[in-house]
């Protein structure tokens, strides 16, 4: 018999042996395997049932309850938005009553911005830090709002860090020039003129059509005057 045929026979014998061992293992552990498979099915079914029959109704209820708070927020009635009006829930109630929902997460954002507008900066940071989002436009706004809170509290270094984070998290024409301008203005006020000038020039180069870009020349001229 040729070596090739011998090798093929050996390989076939090894495969048959492996299959036999697998069959024996399944037979010996049939009860355990049944329990494991059954457990997985139960967990998956429970997860799907939880989402469909508990979480989704909770989500719908939370959104319905939050409608009036959002309405107050849009009208700048921030106290009513946060605490409710006695008939409708405020954002804090939504967070407490519907904590596992996406609506409650969004209520953290609304509460944080509301507290920021009310001048309660520590509370604003508390709720903004609890808010989680991968939205490409909302994420920079949240980081920038944290910067505003820190700046109002006199913590310039933290504010600057947040502004830089806000314009770095997503490079876009809507939010990036706004937070670059805030960072540059803060750097200028901190007498870090070279760094401020670099950002002003970058705004002009990258976002010439933005409000910040069209105004950049006068800020560049102002810093150059200070430097000369």
Beta strands in 35-165 (DSSP E): none
Full-prediction pTM beyond 0.75?
yes
Predicted pLDDT at 26: 55
CA distances to 170, 201, 217, 225 from 213, rounded to whole Å, are 18, 9, 8, 19
Length, in residues, of the chain: 228
Predicted pLDDT at 52: 45
How far apart CA 35 and CA 162 sit, in angstroms, is 51
CATH class of 133-228: mainly alpha
For 62-112, the pLDDT digits (tens) are: 888 999 999 999 999 999 999 999 999 999 999 999 978 999 999 999 999
């Amino acid at each position: 018999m040729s070596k090739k045929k011998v090798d093929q026979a050996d390989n076939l014998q090894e495969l048959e042996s492996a299959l036999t061992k697998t069959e024996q293992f399944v037979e010996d552990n049939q009860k355990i395997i049944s329990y494991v498979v059954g457990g997985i099915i139960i967990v998956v079914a429970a997860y799907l049932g939880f989402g469909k029959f508990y979480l989704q109704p909770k989500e719908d209820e939370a959104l319905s309850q939050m409608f009036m708070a959002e309405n107050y927020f849009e009208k700048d009635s921030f106290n009513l938005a946060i605490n409710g009006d006695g008939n409708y829930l405020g954002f804090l109630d939504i967070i407490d009553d519907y904590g596992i929902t996406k609506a409650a997460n969004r209520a953290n954002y609304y509460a944080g911005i509301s507290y920021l507008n009310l001048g309660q900066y520590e509370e604003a940071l508390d709720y903004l830090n609890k808010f989680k989002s991968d939205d490409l436009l909302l994420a920079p706004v949240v980081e920038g709002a944290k910067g505003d809170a820190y700046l109002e509290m006199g913590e310039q270094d933290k504010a600057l860090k947040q502004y830089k984070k806000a314009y770095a998290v997503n490079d876009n024409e809507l939010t990036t020039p706004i937070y670059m301008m805030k960072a540059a203005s803060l750097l200028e006020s901190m007498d870090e003129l070279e760094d401020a000038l670099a950002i002003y020039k970058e705004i002009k180069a990258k976002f010439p059509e933005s409000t910040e870009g069209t105004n950049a020349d006068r800020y560049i001229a102002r810093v150059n005057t200070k430097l000369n």
